[in-house]
Amino acid sequence: MRWRPTIPVSRSRHVSTVFPATRAGSKTGSARGRAVKFTQTKRGSNTLAALALLAVPFAVYAAFMLYPLIRVCQLSLYEWDGLGYSTFVGFSNYAKTFSDPRLLAAFWHALVLIVFYAVIPLCVGLVLASLLTRSRVRALGFFRTVVFLPQVIAMVVLAIAWRGIYAPDGPINGLLRAIGLGSWARAWLGDFTFALPAVGLIGSWVSLGLVTVLLMSGMATIPRDLYEAAMLDGAGRVRQFFAITVPSVRAEIIVSLTLTIVAALKTFDLVYVTTSGGPGSATTVPSYEVYYQAFRIGEVGTASSLAVVLTLVIFLINLALNLVGERE
């Protein structure tokens, strides 16, 4: 048996030979840690960039929306004429808002305008949009433009035009006299009975185009197979309308009601130009009363409380319509 010399092996080489996976695992773990740290750093930088981009829009929103709203809520607790010193009166202005007959009448008139701005255009728009969509009228795009045109014209311009139409010597009275109904001619905007409906009809005419276009866009997506199947089952046009058309455009109906009801509650320029709330207070509405109380008689506190109440009413109606839409 021959003797063989033993070659010494260094400790470092021995460790690397016996445990090669340990060093590789440590390298993988450190690389993974660096990747996680890089990802966290990148997310943090993205968050800071997003906050920086949102800072300017939020500042604009706070300056032109949040601050005025907070300021109005503050002014609603004071008695102030807009010039002199203010006196803290608590909720007295709100009590006046709910007890003053003129202010209560303004809210009642707003409810009447909701019928003209929202209910009538929706009923007429459903029928009109259904007829136009299913009959495939030629030049449908041109008709949509004509119907929608009142929405793109300034309300002040429309109000001036309709004030001339309703004038005692205007086209409406001229037509009534021409067909032998001269006894019906009257100063429509100066009549205590007909002034508010006359203003409301202008709102109906303006809202009809918006509602019709929205409903037509929804009806255009209804499959025609549904109507053909209903016809095979013996359903007539009226039943098809209520069983297929109306349920299929429920989302468009909610949007239309939201836009038109808010427009009715916010009506100011139409009333201001046509009647200025008259005759007497026959056509006054909450938005006009805010202007009248603040700038005509110097009751800034009352005007502010009225504005807060109107804002809450609009918010609650909008919330209710959104909840109904989501539930459906």
Indicate whether 23 pLDDT > 70: no
182 CA to centre of own chain: 42
Indicate whether 33 pLDDT > 70: no
CA dihedral (76, 78, 81, 86) positive or negative: negative
Tokens 């045109």 belong to residue:
149
At 322, the pLDDT band (50, 70, 90 cuts) reads confident
Please write the tens of the pLDDT for every residue from 264-273.
999 999 999 9
Please write the tens of the pLDDT for every residue from 155-205.
999 999 999 999 999 999 999 999 999 999 999 999 999 999 999 999 999
Predicted local distance difference test score (pLDDT) of residue 76 = 96
Please write the tens of the pLDDT for every residue from 207-250.
999 999 999 999 989 998 999 899 998 888 899 999 999 999 99
Q: What is the rounded average pLDDT of the residues 282-289?
A: 96
Contact present, 208 and 147 (Cβ < 8 Å): yes
Predicted local distance difference test score (pLDDT) of residue 174 = 95
Amino acid 256 reads: S
Q: Look up residue 190 and give its DSSP letter.
A: G
H-helix or E-strand spanning residue 128: helix 120-135
DSSP alpha helix (H) spans, 20-119: 20-61, 67-75, 92-97, 101-114
Predicted local distance difference test score (pLDDT) of residue 142 = 79
Please write the tens of the pLDDT for every residue from 63-101.
998 999 999 999 999 999 989 899 999 999 999 999 999
H-helix or E-strand spanning residue 1: none
Contact present, 271 and 284 (Cβ < 8 Å): yes
Partners of 79 in the beta sheet?
87
Instruction: Report the percentage of the chain scoring pLDDT > 70.
Output: 85
Mean pLDDT of the chain: 87
pTM, entire model:
0.81
Q: What is the rounded average pLDDT of the residues 146-163?
A: 92
